[in-house]
Amino acid sequence: MDLIGLLTTIVTDLAASPWIYLVVFAVCVIDGFFPPVPSETVVVGAATISVATSEPHLLLLIGAAAAGAIAGDNIAYQLGRALGTERFTWMRTNRVVSVVTWARRGLDQRGAVLIFAARYIPVGRIAVNMTAGATAYPIRRFLPLSVAAGITWAAYSAIFGIFTGQWLHDQPLLAIAIAIVFALLVGAVIDIVIRRFIGRGAVTSEQHEISGARLP
């Protein structure tokens, strides 16, 4: 059984138990700095189940997910601040360097937009938040942005799960699967849009620099 399947099973089994909130919180925290743990799977799955069983409670679910997301993102920020982006060999691979370079450029140009949007991008949020810490992005700006992003992300994930659960209320397992896949696709689309947005900004900045250099 893969990790997503295992987490879905755990959520299904614990949906009516108070432990579900601790599981959601823990997964969202770990997902903030450890990519293989997909927190969207747990939040969306739990919300989908709540349509049929009224458990877990929606507001408690959103609260647990938001608190975990905020904590995880700030842990990633502190890890970036402590470790930097080049300390370990795996950090210097071409793929990681490319992602970090993209995140660094985005933070320089549109830091608030990138930090907020990255919360919706699996793996991408880790790169952005660690890079923010490594480049000394001001914590007084990062913290409120991470709080706002965590709350809206948790609400979006839960509401989307409920919508899917109502649409396929007679087939809860299918509803969970569709909700999870669609949530991940939304993250991928946001990733593409943000990359193009940041890339266009980089081109514009370079053009301005070239124009300025030509002036007497």
pLDDT of residue 214: 42
**Is residue 66 a contact partner of residue 152, using CB atoms and an 8 Å limit?**
no
Range of the domain at 11: 3-214
Look at the chain and report how many structural domains it folds into: 1
**Which amino acid is residue 168, in one-letter code?**
L
Each residue of 9-65: pLDDT tens digit? 777 777 778 889 999 999 999 999 887 767 888 888 888 888 777 888 889 999 999
Confidence of residue 213 (pLDDT cuts 50, 70, 90): very low
Mean pLDDT for 3-13 is 69
pLDDT-wise least confident of 53-57, 129-133, 194-198: 194-198
**Is residue 31 a contact partner of residue 37, using CB atoms and an 8 Å limit?**
yes
Confidence of residue 179 (pLDDT cuts 50, 70, 90): low
Q: Is the pLDDT of residue 204 over 70?
A: no
- Give the integer Cα–Cα distance in Å for 127 and 115: 10
By percentage, how much of the chain surpasses pLDDT 70? 72
Mean pLDDT for 160-183 is 67
pLDDT of residue 108: 76
Mean pLDDT for 88-97 is 72
pLDDT of residue 41: 81
- Give the integer Cα–Cα distance in Å for 20 and 28: 12
| Predicted model pTM | 0.76
By percentage, how much of the chain surpasses pLDDT 90? 25
Taking residue 195's Cβ as centre, other Cβ atoms within 10 Å add up to: 14
| Contacts made by residues 54-57, CB under 8 angstroms, sequence distance 24+ | 55/15, 55/16, 55/20, 56/15, 56/16, 56/20, 56/21, 56/24
**Which amino acid is residue 190, in one-letter code?**
I
Length of the chain: 216
pLDDT of residue 44: 84
Q: Is the pLDDT of residue 195 over 70?
A: no
DSSP label of 216 = -
pLDDT of residue 116: 86
**Which amino acid is residue 74, in one-letter code?**
N
Confidence of residue 209 (pLDDT cuts 50, 70, 90): very low
pLDDT of residue 155: 92
